[in-house]
A and B are shown apart, each in its own frame.
Chain A
Amino acid sequence: MTVSLAALADVARSEASLRAFLHGLPGVDKVGAEQRAAALGTRSIKTSAKAWAIDLSIRMVDLTTLEGADTPGKVRNLCQKALNPGHGAPRVAAICVYPSMVATAHEALRGSGVHLASVATAFPSGQAPLSVRLDDTRAAVAAGADEIDMVINRGAFLSGRYTEVFEEIVAVKEACGDAHLKVILETGELATYDNVRRASWLAMLAGGDFIKTSTGKVPVAATPPVTMIMLEAVRDFLAQTGRKVGVKPAGGIRTTKDAVKYLVLVNETAGEGWLDPDWFRFGASTLLNDLLMQRSKLATGHYAGPDYVTLD
């Protein structure tokens, strides 16, 4: 990719230049990307490497509950699990809740070092006026969230109104203040891998600290090829601009085997620098239990069962 730093700086000066840049990104070889991601998924990670991968995955989990039925009690339970997953397992990276639950979670997590993420901007559709989405964000930050997971305006993106999407991300980033901004691309609704690459660059150019695959609310969530394309984007963005952006696949990652496949993908695509909870996260709810069960399998030598971990 040959884009100079100077060109990147003012690429968003007009709709035309932004479009020219995004459409100038090299196309994704669909078959090649899927094959590469599948091939990397066949690596065999065993014994001590597996133990290391499991502990790293636990530290990377954004333990999530995003249900209409969430109650303060449920959120407090989840926070306790984040703080003490059990059997000597490390703490998770963050808790991820709806804005209305942020205050409750903040109380439970205060001073623990576990981050508190809140989805905002009319999650999961993002179909609300910008002013409402910004208020949503400010409210979550005010209640104690130090990470904000925003959704992009897919309607605008898919109709080619890239500047609108760009400016909205910039505005949300401003509303976040010191909070980290994760930009959800909702790749399941973007239709093509080329769009995923464009949306990734758009989000990074607009100032996102993380790019995240999905809300988990549409049928197609995180997939290995999509995550690989996003990892390539953050790698290239770092090389071009010197700014490092994180990646968060979310939705549909339920087993330790899946998680380890993603770690292999991270290592082989973006590099070792991203094998860190500051730069790579898993958005998941049931994944943690499977990680804990696999961890116990390695420790005890026999298969574990769901009766020995919490219900969620």
Chain B
Amino acid sequence: MSELTGQNPDAATRGQNRASRSELTGQNPDAATRGQNRASRSGSSRLAVRKTYKLFIGGAFPRSESGRTYVVNDNNVALASRKDLRDAVVAARKAFPGWSGATAYNRGQVVYRIAEMAEARRKEFKSLGVPSDEVDAAIDRLVWYAGWSDKIAQVLGGANPVAGPYLNISSPEPTGVVGVLAPADSALLGLVSVVAPAIVTGNTVVVLAAEAHPLVAVTFAEALATSDVPGGVVNLLTGRPAETAPWLASHADVNALDLAGAATDLARDLEIAAAGTLKRVLRPAPADWHADPGLTRLTAFLETKTVWHPKGV
């Protein structure tokens, strides 16, 4: 257990408390508050308000059920456990009927709204080290996928010519709950490029953020939370995918798996685990995230439903 835990949760919490207390410059709290008031009146300095990077499950930002955290760029970030993952899958399943039942036009609008909210957070993404051209590309990609929402059915579906007195129609339908391992090589563009195509067609997703890039992922989750995306449609877990991904791959209530961020050995194990419940698995080749994504990811998590209807005369 200790290798999974990394650190004792109590110690982590204590450490966090110590850190925040030390920012109060060691004075007693009252004195600090008075000092702060004085400072704000004179406009000279104020206490730093630091962000707590938490998980994003069912539209809320909970800490990890385990209480664990790990440190990235001097920030404590929630270290998700398998129970957080289980909760995320429950939230995604609960959100699926509503999201997949929404009209394609509506889903497109919502994804476009994510682009608007991400646009407003441009400065924050940059401060986290995302280059400006990558922020541009990520926002443009959201807009691009938003546009596909009500067009994909025409491209992939349609009326089929059949030899018989039947009207035969095929239409693409979402697969269900999709587990996604976010790419490790592109913090924002990579994440957007795997999440947007999965949700725009009506799937709900559980995303395991790349271990090294949780700050950008949580900031993107904040854009999602403020952009009309129903709670549970995107659930984001920060932490160590190598620890949680096997539970995602073997979970019987997950319908598909995107292994974009999985290293070769892990991807192989996950494919085997996913086979146990016949999940649809996408194991992509390393990608240039700036390149035109094409329709591969849009179509990867769609099922084609075909209906035969007798023709009246």
Binds B, one of A53-61, A158-166, A172-180, A301-309: A301-309
Residue pair A302, B253 in contact (C-beta under 8 Å): no
Residue pair B276, A303 in contact (C-beta under 8 Å): no
* Secondary structure class of chain A's binding surface, majority of residues: loop
Q: Tell me the smallest distance from the CB of B94 to a CB of chain A, in Å.
A: 11
Answer yes or no: B36 CB below 8 A from chain A CBs.
no
- Tell me the residues in window 274-312 of chain A with beta carbons closer than 8 Å to chain B beta carbons: 301-308
Q: Tell me the smallest distance from the CB of A308 to a CB of chain B, in Å.
A: 6
Per-residue A-contact encoding for B194-209, CB less than 8 Å = 1, 0 else = 0000000000000000
A303 to B276, CA, bound (A): 12
- Tell me the residues in window 179-229 of chain B with beta carbons closer than 8 Å to chain A beta carbons: none
- Tell me the residues in window 222-259 of chain A with beta carbons closer than 8 Å to chain B beta carbons: none
A302 contacts which chain B residues (CB < 8 A)? 247, 250-252, 273, 276-277
- Tell me the residues in window 265-285 of chain B with beta carbons closer than 8 Å to chain A beta carbons: 273, 276-277
A303 to B250, CA, bound (A): 7
A308 contacts which chain B residues (CB < 8 A)? 252
Answer yes or no: B89 CB below 8 A from chain A CBs.
yes
- Tell me the residues in window 222-278 of chain B with beta carbons closer than 8 Å to chain A beta carbons: 247, 250-254, 273, 276-277
Q: Tell me the smallest distance from the CB of A257 to a CB of chain B, in Å.
A: 11
A308 to B254, CA, bound (A): 12
Answer yes or no: B297 CB below 8 A from chain A CBs.
no
Q: Tell me the smallest distance from the CB of A260 to a CB of chain B, in Å.
A: 15
A304 to B277, CA, bound (A): 10
Answer yes or no: B86 CB below 8 A from chain A CBs.
yes
A305 contacts which chain B residues (CB < 8 A)? 93, 251-254, 277
A305 to B94, CA, bound (A): 12
Give the most central of B93, B252, B273: most A CB within 10 Å: B252
A306 to B89, CA, bound (A): 12
A307 contacts which chain B residues (CB < 8 A)? 252-253
Closest to A306 in B: B253
Per-residue A-contact encoding for B122-152, CB less than 8 Å = 1, 0 else = 0000000000000000000000000000000
- Tell me the residues in window 184-205 of chain A with beta carbons closer than 8 Å to chain B beta carbons: none
A308 to B86, CA, bound (A): 16
The chain B residues found within 8 Å of chain A, CB to CB, are: 86, 89, 93, 247, 250-254, 273, 276-277
Excluding A302-B250, A305-B253, A306-B93, 15 further A-B contacts by CB distance (< 8 Å) are: A302-B251, A302-B252, A302-B273, A302-B276, A302-B277, A303-B89, A303-B250, A303-B251, A303-B252, A304-B253, A305-B93, A305-B277, A306-B253, A307-B252, A307-B253
The chain A residues found within 8 Å of chain B, CB to CB, are: 301-308
8 nearest CB pairs, A to B: A305-B253, A302-B250, A305-B252, A303-B251, A304-B252, A303-B86, A308-B252, A303-B252
Instruction: Provide a sorted-by-A list of 13 A–B residue pairs whose CB atoms are within 8 angstroms.
Output: A302-B250, A303-B86, A303-B251, A303-B252, A303-B253, A304-B252, A304-B253, A305-B93, A305-B252, A305-B253, A305-B277, A307-B252, A307-B253
